[in-house]
């Protein structure tokens, strides 16, 4: 289970550029749940993801993964618990390394790394069968440099790498946003498959409302660093994008009223 307890983060604190990104956000994700996160630019989606991944350390509040307080852990220390796919297809893998070397890096996620050979006969065989399931022919190109792959192929690889080793939560950061619609569909299908197969606890940030409703089993909307909408189960099942928008406008109106009441 993942818990973000009243986390706040303000960038450029104490300057004219001060921007509060998260304001006491609470979020609890039970094991096995697939949560999609939506919100406009500056709503705090990326900061929330960063706070869970370790790239952003929250100013206040706590981040708990299975009751381990990881609030102040740097990214590399959390890697055994948190896996991640970036928005930029080039960010999730090393272009200068070969496909099998990238997989080997991912296979050691969250483990100590010693002087043993990074790639052995057995690991090569297991990588090969793993790649075969993508149906991209990559199993025959294991010694090709990663930079030779297309954006979609690299994003599929990133997903494969992120889910190669067990983790407590999988973070997907608009991971289909940089792809063409067809490739985005392929990567999203692959995501659904892997998440269902391995019963992964997942948090997917997306800018597409329809995607947010179509994938996963709970949708959370962020606005000005807080959660203003949280739907799941039956309520979510029959929802359309228009319903979601209506709810958003209603909620935001109320939120504004609340704020003005405080002033």
Q: Does 108 bind other proteins (CB under 8 A)?
A: yes
Nearest Cα to Cα of residue 226 among 5, 23, 4, 3:
23
The answer to the question of residue 92 lying near other proteins (CB under 8 A) is yes
Residues shown for the chain: 263
8 or 163: CB nearest other proteins: 163
Measured CA to CA, the distance from residue 130 to residue 173 in angstroms comes to 23
One DSSP character per residue, 210-257 reads HHHHHSSSEEEEEETTEEEEEEEHHHHHT--HHHHHHHHHHHHHHHHH
Is residue 106 at the binding interface for other proteins, with CB under 8 A as the rule? yes
Our CB check for other proteins shows the closer of 74 and 253 to be 74
Residue of 6, 111, 133, 249 that binds other proteins (CB under 8 A): 111
- Interface of this chain with other proteins, residues 152 to 191, rule: CB under 8 A: 161
Question: Binding of other proteins at residue 104 (CB under 8 A)?
Answer: yes
Q: Which residues contact 31 (CB under 8 A, 6 or more apart)?
A: 1, 168, 201
Residues 3-42 that bind other proteins (CB under 8 A): none
By CB under 8 A, is residue 202 in contact with other proteins? no
Q: Is 89 in the site for other proteins (CB under 8 A)?
A: no
How far apart CA 138 and CA 144 sit, in angstroms, is: 9
Residues that bind other proteins (CB under 8 A): 53, 55, 74-77, 79-80, 83-84, 86, 91-97, 101, 104-106, 108-111, 113-119, 161
């Amino acid at each position: 289970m993942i818990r973000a307890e009243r986390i706040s983060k303000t960038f450029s604190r104490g300057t004219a550029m001060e921007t509060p990104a998260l304001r006491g956000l609470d979020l609890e994700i039970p094991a096995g749940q697939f949560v999609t996160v939506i919100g406009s630019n500056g709503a705090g989606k990326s900061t929330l993801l960063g706070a869970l991944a370790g790239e952003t350390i929250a100013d206040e509040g706590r981040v708990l993964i299975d009751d381990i307080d990881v609030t102040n852990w740097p990214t590399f220390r959390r890697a055994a618990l948190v896996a991640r796919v970036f928005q930029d297809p080039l960010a999730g893998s090393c272009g200068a390394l070969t496909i099998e070397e990238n997989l080997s890096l991912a296979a050691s996620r969250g483990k100590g790394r010693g002087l043993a050979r990074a790639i052995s006969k057995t690991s090569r065989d297991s990588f090969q069968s793993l790649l075969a399931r993508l149906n991209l022919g990559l199993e025959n190109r294991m010694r090709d440099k990663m930079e030779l792959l297309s954006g979609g192929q690299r994003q599929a690889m990133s997903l494969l790498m992120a889910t190669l080793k067990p983790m407590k939560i999988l973070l997907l950061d608009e991971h289909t946003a940089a792809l063409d619609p067809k490739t985005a569909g392929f990567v999203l299908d692959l995501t659904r498959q892997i998440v269902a197969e391995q019963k992964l606890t997942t948090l997917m940030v997306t800018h597409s409302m329809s995607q947010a409703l179509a994938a996963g089993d709970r949708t959370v909307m962020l606005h000005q660093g807080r959660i203003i909408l949280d739907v799941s189960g039956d309520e979510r099942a029959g929802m359309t994008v228009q319903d979601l928008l209506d709810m958003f406008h209603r909620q935001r109106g109320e939120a504004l009223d609340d704020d003005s009441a405080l002033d």
